[in-house]
């Protein structure tokens, strides 16, 4: 989810992703790519994502979160109907997808967690 936040905020702001500018890809042992967002990854691709340590997950999220707050609190950076060249979507649409995508991911995580904890009853 953090990679998605990073991408969308960078599109809205018209700036480089924090993933690239702060070199987070190095801390995750991944190549320098702003387009690798985890979409369509195979199990082998996922197994290659090995952060240097657990705190890297939180540190990257905190950096992106702070950038999100900075952008959202700057009324000059948000113009809901402004088109983003790379996606041809409006800023409003990208913000909506950020929220909708997050809710979908949280639902998926909860579903998997319930499977792992054996809370699902099969009939």
**pTM of the complete model:** 0.79
CATH number at residue 60: 1.20.120.450
Calpha distance 20→74 (Å, rounded): 22
Which regions in the chain score pLDDT beneath 50? 123
121 inside domain = no
> Which residue's entry shows tokens 């905020």?
9
> How much is the CA Rg of the chain, to the nearest whole Å?
16
* Separation of alpha carbons 40 and 101, rounded Å: 15
In a domain, 123, yes or no: no
Average pLDDT value for the chain: 87
Residue 29 lies in a domain: yes
CA angle 29, 33, 35 (to 5 degrees): 125
């Amino acid at each position: 989810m953090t990679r998605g936040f990073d991408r969308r905020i960078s599109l809205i702001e018209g700036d480089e992703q924090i993933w690239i500018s702060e070199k987070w890809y190095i801390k995750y042992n991944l190549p320098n790519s702003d387009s690798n967002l985890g979409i369509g990854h195979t199990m082998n691709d996922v197994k290659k994502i090995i952060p240097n340590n657990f705190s890297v997950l939180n540190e990257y999220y905190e950096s992106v979160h702070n950038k999100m707050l900075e952008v959202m609190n700057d009324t000059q950076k948000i113009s809901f109907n402004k088109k983003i060249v790379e996606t041809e979507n409006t800023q409003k649409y990208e913000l909506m997808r950020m929220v909708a995508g997050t809710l979908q991911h949280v639902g998926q995580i909860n579903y998997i967690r319930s499977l792992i904890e054996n809370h699902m009853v099969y009939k």
